A and B are shown apart, each in its own frame.
Chain A
Amino acid sequence: MSQAAHLRSQAEGLATGLPPLLADAEHLASTVLLGAHGRRRAGMGDEFWQYRPFGTGDEPRMIDWRRSARSDTHFIKQKEWQAAQSVMIWVDGAQSLDFTGDKGRETKRARARLLGLAMGVLLIRAGERVGLSNMNQPPRSGDVQLLRMTAALADMAEGAEYGVPETAVLPPQSRAVFLSDFLGDPAPIEAALTKAADRGVRGALCQVLDPVEESFPFSGRTIFDSMGGGMSHETLQAAELKARYLERLAERKDFLETLCRATGWQYHCHHTGGAAQSALLWLYAATERAH
């Protein structure tokens, strides 16, 4: 009984969690105005680009008769070339994202998931191919992909204490968005980014932090445990540590920013205390810039 019940309850939980997640993401994405997304040159696509006089080498079936009837020469109607881009989104599944400093605030994971899915919604509406690096599948386009991503995000398995970006599935010359707190060991992050840059992948790195992690409002004798409980640190005067902790945090941010600049990526630090919209706008602009 236990297995079936467990499965059932999980499915129920998934079903209840899914629509709000998607709806939130849709809602968030709808605030960003979608622009034309053409290549600024003639090619395959749906949008009208230009009428060109009929020349040698053109097939007669390409003649646009309606336009040609208004003049003496023949014209060919050309459409704008619209090529879809591949964007891989990585949302960190590590336990460290399960943290929130205040009951009224969502966890870092929820925010990262929301941002990732909202990016997915935006990109799919723009006709791009989107994939989740956790899904181990190539990026695809279409609304079904959105549902798959939603399911994958909601079903994200508990991972290690701190996450490492997944680079194995990144197609060459594609775009990538990494969402994590990047508080773990910096070496794997550096390695992943370097590898991605080698493949010609550009993208955006968004560090999601809780305001408590920025302010460190602790004092007294304290034992700090990591979210998984694998790491702990005891101090007798937590308040004394504040300055040095903040120093280290700034160091980490600086490291990430330098790394991004070196690899052609873009870096942003987002706090769960702030509005998700600003982060989404930044992500959207960052992926635009990466074109």
Chain B
Amino acid sequence: MLVLGPIGFTAPWLLLGLIALPILWVILRAVPPAPIRRRFPGVALLLGLTDDESQTDRTPWWLLLLRMLAVAAVIVGFAGPVLNPSDARTGQGPLLILTDGGWADGRDWSRREDRIAGLLAEAERNNRPVALVSLAEAPKRVPNFQPPSAWSTRLGNLAPQPWRPDAAMTADFAAALAEAGPFESYWLSDGLAWPGRGGLLSELEAQGPVTLFESPRPALGLRPVRFEDGVVKLTALRPAPGIERQISVVAYGLDPSGTERALARGEAEFAPPEVEAEVALSLPAELRNRISRFEIDGERTAGAVSLTDDGLRRREVALIAGREDREGLELLSPLHYLQQALEPTADLVDGTLADVLLANPDAIVMADVASVAAGEQAPLLEWIENGGLLLRFAGPRMAASDISRTEEDPLMPVRLREGGRTVGGAMSWGEPKTLRAFDEDSPFFGLDTSDEVVVTAQVLAQPDPALASRVIAALEDGTPLVTRKRIGAGQVILFHVTANAEWSSLPLSGLFVQMLERMAVSTQPALTEASELEGTVWAPRVVLNGFGEVMDAGQLAGIKGELLAEGVLGPDLPPGLYEGEDRSIALNVIRPDAELTPTNWPARLRVEGLDVLRETLLKGWLLATALVLLAVDVLASLWLSGKLTGPRAARASAVVLALVLAAPSGGARAQESDDALAILATSEVVLAHVITGDQRLDATAFDGLRGLSEVLFRRTSIEPAEPIGVNLETDELAFFPFLYWPISPEQPLPSVEAYGKLNRYLRSGGMILFDTRDAAIGGFGSDTPEGRKLQQLARPLDIPPLEVVPADHVLTRTFYLLQDFPGRHASRDVWVEAAPPDAEQIEGMPFRNLNDGVTPVVIGGNDWAAAWAVDRNGNTLFPVGRGYAGEQQREIAYRFGVNLIMHVLTGNYKSDQVHVPALLDRLGQ
């Protein structure tokens, strides 16, 4: 092989061909380019014109140069050039290649692999048998010495382990070395000391010469996180003092949408004499609880990752009430006492159930929520099974609902009897009940049941064989007050009273706070003491691999608590997050007290770096270059002979240009249309109807809402824009204050997600007008196809108890004074949310202080859209009634529409107006 600088040639004799290049130059120059024939009538004018210069009959010099270069590239290419031809490492006899294979190898694993591959290639050239051993894989003996090519194929399977080799792991191996006979050893060290390293070295030296390879780049480690004085502290380690070095520590966790991302970042600096660098992160509790691990940025090792466990967390409790619509009535809010009790000790989370589940809180408290949408039930159950605590409180809505009546609801601990009971009231016998002392197996055992707690109303559990085991608190007459059911790793607890003071004085007492603490609120971090862990089994949830990547633990077997407490990492105990009954322990590569010690090899040994210059064959590149040059030559020749610039070439080049410029455009169109809808729906008030799939029905609904919009525009200060048809599956509902939903027996049931959306819509103040359009043939609840369909559609919806619109409902007087709500049919059966049972007629006022929120649904069958419908010119589309009486009915239908939209848009403002005279009267005093 001929070697010139960094390039060697395998067939140098071929280079002699370069001598022929000048001859080629001369020959090529003598040959002019081929002419092109053209028919041209103007040739008569050309006759006799001679060329000024005869130079261009020769090929231009630059084209010649191009061709010369192409030929030269071919010649040099076939001469077999090699970049960085490696100098041979001589030697003979068996060769043992050792690598530490621990986590510290992960930082430069690819270079390590390259180096091993280079050593194997050398051994191949020298015809030496090789054995390749990774110490962290706890080898038992020296494997057979095999041809290097056998090892090259297996090299890809070698990966760093997330622990480090130690004396125990390598003891058998060291003992077996003597039997393997004399051999030479190459040891690729990771640069960190470990016990047993010296012993192994002396064993190796006894068998033959040892060469060491070590990367000069230090491995970094990250100690487990500490939470001190309200800040999160982390310590980064390096093996030896060195130059000043800046590192950044990144905290990873799930964001609210459930994807993992970097949540926080802190900078740490190694001062020159120091081996430790500390970083303190001040994080809000919400963010802190989401963090699942810390990493040193850019360091690809398991040691640079620190998983977090319960030690960093504060209990996160989500509060959800059925409907929070009582502005200002703080003391009656179902959540008020819970908030007061939990605020000092837990982080409270607000939001809808779906959002809250993403945050994965420790406990969810649901006060007087009857049913959960089907789409939310499955994730909620899954969350409970994964250890969540669902705490439910009863209330009027739960008592009025059908939940858990005939069969046990998965989200309820017991079945409930219809109604409930009231004791100690004006209309009932007996005294209000007090609490019985707690049982021994109750979690509340030991708390003082003071007599101040009295219960006046509650929901009753259905007697059941399993009931006794589920009661954890009871009244003095034995009726269950608190029941509990375990689901998977989590539990559901039901308080049979309200969370506010309406039904009992429990929320007012100190006992309430103590009970909450016993159940949900425990901010105690997990302690890993051997005595505590004895006899327990911990299941790995996630484990780290050698590169510090977090892997799902899959089917790994559980680990005994004693082993976990010892914390000696190895194949049986990989680092990761282990989960016990109700808490988790993170087992990190770097222990809290760990140090990184650098290796200190005896001076007699030769230590080489890991850098390896890989041999690169240049033949392919050169031949490819020659091909490219020849292609350029083709174009240049064409251009020179005028074939590229002729009359047709311009069009061809335009076509090519157009093809190049025609870049694919698309995507993000869905996003755009979403945004367009949002802007359309929110720039003005817009009435909306649900698209049922029945085109005629949808057109009628659209025309009806258009007619109503026009009437509103003319008569009131509401000035709606053109109505919009809403697709429940794809469109966002939050933009619309009002949805008109005509029922047709054929329409498909919405999907689970759409129901989730609808429930969220109803809870956040939206209103749906269901129209069965069948009042002509049957009343509400009667057995028409539309009625059955409505029942089917509305079953998964969170609809409160209903009643026929009472004569004093606010709907009868938000704009016009109305008593009937006719559409195309004139039925009185129009249903709205029922007033609470305790609503009373206000003294001297025409109507009761009815539920002052807006009714979430209005249900009827009067086919209002048909009565409202007008075409673009304002002509009515459907006849209503007969003659003048019919027109009168249409007018009343419009008035109902006006009242309804007023009711939706003004909320309780209109019903509060009744109080104005009283307030003015009081102010006057």
Partner-B contacts on A (CB < 8 A): 96-97, 99, 101-102, 108, 162, 181, 183-185, 210, 212-213, 216-227, 231-241, 244-245, 248-249, 252
Of B40-48, B340-348, B367-375, B737-745, the segment with at least 4 beta carbons within 8 Å of chain A is B40-48
**A236:B38 contact, CB within 8 angstroms:** no
Considering the complex, give the chain A residue whose CB is closest to the CB of B37. A223
Give 10 A-B pairs besides A108-B41, A224-B42 with Cβ atoms closer than 8 angstroms.
Answer: A96-B44, A101-B647, A220-B643, A221-B36, A223-B38, A224-B40, A224-B43, A240-B51, A248-B46, A252-B45
CA distance A259 to B657 in the complex (A): 49
**A238:B43 contact, CB within 8 angstroms:** no
**B43:A233 contact, CB within 8 angstroms:** yes
Identify the interface centre among B41, B42, B51, B647: most chain A CB within 10 Å of its CB: B41
CA distance A220 to B645 in the complex (A): 9
29 pairs from A and B in contact (CB 8 Å cutoff): A96-B41, A99-B39, A99-B40, A102-B647, A108-B41, A162-B44, A183-B45, A185-B44, A210-B41, A212-B647, A217-B645, A220-B36, A221-B33, A221-B641, A222-B37, A222-B38, A223-B36, A223-B37, A223-B38, A225-B37, A225-B43, A226-B43, A227-B41, A233-B46, A235-B46, A235-B49, A236-B56, A237-B56, A240-B53
**A227:B42 contact, CB within 8 angstroms:** no
Give residues of chain B (839-877) contacting chain A, Cβ–Cβ below 8 Å. none
**A221:B41 contact, CB within 8 angstroms:** no
**B43:A231 contact, CB within 8 angstroms:** yes
User: How far apart are B637's CB and chain A's nearest CB, in angstroms?
Assistant: 10
Considering the complex, give the chain B residue whose CB is closest to the CB of A101. B647
Is there a chain A Cβ closer than 8 Å to B54's Cβ?
yes
Q: Which residues of A contact B298 (CB under 8 A)?
A: none
**B35:A234 contact, CB within 8 angstroms:** yes
Q: Which residues of A contact B56 (CB under 8 A)?
A: 221, 236-237
**B647:A222 contact, CB within 8 angstroms:** no
Q: Which residues of B contact A240 (CB under 8 A)?
A: 51-53
Partner-A contacts on B (CB < 8 A): 32-47, 49, 51-54, 56-57, 640-643, 645-647
**B44:A219 contact, CB within 8 angstroms:** no
Q: Which residues of B contact A252 (CB under 8 A)?
A: 45
Contact of B44 among A97, A101, A183, A221 (CB under 8 A): A183
Q: Which residues of B contact A97 (CB under 8 A)?
A: 41
**A244:B49 contact, CB within 8 angstroms:** yes
Contact of B642 among A101, A218, A227, A231 (CB under 8 A): A218
Considering the complex, give the chain B residue whose CB is closest to the CB of A226. B43
Contact of B45 among A221, A234, A235, A249 (CB under 8 A): A249
CA distance A225 to B40 in the complex (A): 6
Decide: A217 near B36, CB < 8 A? Known: A237-B56, A241-B49.
no
CA distance A96 to B645 in the complex (A): 24
Identify the interface centre among A101, A223, A236, A248: most chain B CB within 10 Å of its CB: A236
Q: Which residues of B contact A236 (CB under 8 A)?
A: 32, 51, 54, 56-57
Q: Which residues of A contact B49 (CB under 8 A)?
A: 233, 235, 241, 244-245
Decide: A213 near B51, CB < 8 A? Known: A218-B646, A221-B36.
no
**B642:A220 contact, CB within 8 angstroms:** yes
CA distance A224 to B36 in the complex (A): 9
**A221:B32 contact, CB within 8 angstroms:** yes
**B44:A184 contact, CB within 8 angstroms:** yes
Q: Which residues of A contact B39 (CB under 8 A)?
A: 99, 224-227
Q: Which residues of A contact B44 (CB under 8 A)?
A: 96, 162, 183-185, 226, 231
CA distance A181 to B33 in the complex (A): 33
CA distance A289 to B668 in the complex (A): 68
Decide: A245 near B36, CB < 8 A? Known: A220-B641, A221-B641, A240-B52.
no
Contact of B42 among A213, A232, A234, A237 (CB under 8 A): A213
Q: Which residues of B contact A183 (CB under 8 A)?
A: 41-42, 44-45
Identify the interface centre among B35, B43, B640: most chain A CB within 10 Å of its CB: B43
Q: Which residues of B contact A238 (CB under 8 A)?
A: 642
Decide: A221 near B54, CB < 8 A? Known: A233-B43, A245-B42.
no
Q: Which residues of B contact A222 (CB under 8 A)?
A: 35-38, 642
Considering the complex, give the chain B residue whose CB is closest to the CB of A229. B39
Decide: A225 near B32, CB < 8 A? Known: A212-B647, A233-B49.
no
**B41:A217 contact, CB within 8 angstroms:** no
User: How far apart are A201's CB and chain B's nearest CB, in angstroms?
Assistant: 27
Q: Which residues of B contact A231 (CB under 8 A)?
A: 43-44, 47
CA distance A249 to B43 in the complex (A): 11
Contact of B647 among A185, A217, A233, A245 (CB under 8 A): A217
CA distance A184 to B56 in the complex (A): 30
Q: Which residues of B contact A213 (CB under 8 A)?
A: 40-42
CA distance A218 to B47 in the complex (A): 16
Decide: A221 near B34, CB < 8 A? Known: A237-B56, A241-B49.
yes
CA distance A235 to B33 in the complex (A): 12
CA distance A241 to B645 in the complex (A): 16
**B38:A235 contact, CB within 8 angstroms:** no
Considering the complex, give the chain A residue whose CB is closest to the CB of B642. A220
**A245:B45 contact, CB within 8 angstroms:** yes
CA distance A217 to B51 in the complex (A): 17
Decide: A99 near B41, CB < 8 A? Known: A233-B47, A241-B49.
yes
Q: Which residues of B contact A108 (CB under 8 A)?
A: 41
Considering the complex, give the chain A residue whose CB is closest to the CB of B52. A240
CA distance A252 to B41 in the complex (A): 14
Considering the complex, give the chain A residue whose CB is closest to the CB of B45. A248
User: How far apart are A96's CB and chain B's nearest CB, in angstroms?
Assistant: 4
User: How far apart are A107's CB and chain B's nearest CB, in angstroms?
Assistant: 10
User: How far apart are B190's CB and chain A's nearest CB, in angstroms?
Assistant: 68
User: How far apart are B296's CB and chain A's nearest CB, in angstroms?
Assistant: 65
Q: Which residues of B contact A221 (CB under 8 A)?
A: 32-36, 56-57, 641-642
Considering the complex, give the chain B residue whose CB is closest to the CB of A211. B647
CA distance A218 to B42 in the complex (A): 12
CA distance A231 to B43 in the complex (A): 7
CA distance A212 to B650 in the complex (A): 14
CA distance A102 to B37 in the complex (A): 16
User: How far apart are B32's CB and chain A's nearest CB, in angstroms?
Assistant: 7
Q: Which residues of B contact A226 (CB under 8 A)?
A: 39-41, 43-44
Closest 6 CB pairs of A and B: A220-B642, A96-B41, A219-B642, A221-B35, A248-B45, A220-B641
Considering the complex, give the chain A residue whose CB is closest to the CB of B48. A233
**A237:B51 contact, CB within 8 angstroms:** yes
CA distance A183 to B46 in the complex (A): 11
CA distance A253 to B43 in the complex (A): 16
Contact of A225 among B38, B47, B643 (CB under 8 A): B38
User: How far apart are B891's CB and chain A's nearest CB, in angstroms?
Assistant: 66
CA distance A216 to B49 in the complex (A): 15
CA distance A125 to B47 in the complex (A): 44
Considering the complex, give the chain A residue whose CB is closest to the CB of B46. A233
User: How far apart are A241's CB and chain B's nearest CB, in angstroms?
Assistant: 6
Q: Which residues of A contact B640 (CB under 8 A)?
A: 220
Considering the complex, give the chain A residue whose CB is closest to the CB of B639. A220
Identify the interface centre among A216, A218, A238: most chain B CB within 10 Å of its CB: A238
Considering the complex, give the chain B residue whose CB is closest to the CB of A161. B44
CA distance A238 to B643 in the complex (A): 12
Contact of B43 among A101, A217, A232 (CB under 8 A): A232
CA distance A17 to B640 in the complex (A): 42
**A220:B41 contact, CB within 8 angstroms:** no
Q: Which residues of A contact B647 (CB under 8 A)?
A: 101-102, 212, 217
User: How far apart are A109's CB and chain B's nearest CB, in angstroms?
Assistant: 11
User: How far apart are B635's CB and chain A's nearest CB, in angstroms?
Assistant: 14
Considering the complex, give the chain B residue whose CB is closest to the CB of A239. B642
CA distance A172 to B33 in the complex (A): 57
CA distance A227 to B37 in the complex (A): 12
**B38:A224 contact, CB within 8 angstroms:** yes
User: How far apart are A226's CB and chain B's nearest CB, in angstroms?
Assistant: 5
User: How far apart are A232's CB and chain B's nearest CB, in angstroms?
Assistant: 7
Q: Which residues of A contact B34 (CB under 8 A)?
A: 221
CA distance A241 to B40 in the complex (A): 14
Q: Which residues of B contact A162 (CB under 8 A)?
A: 44
Considering the complex, give the chain B residue whose CB is closest to the CB of A235. B51
Q: Which residues of A contact B47 (CB under 8 A)?
A: 231, 233
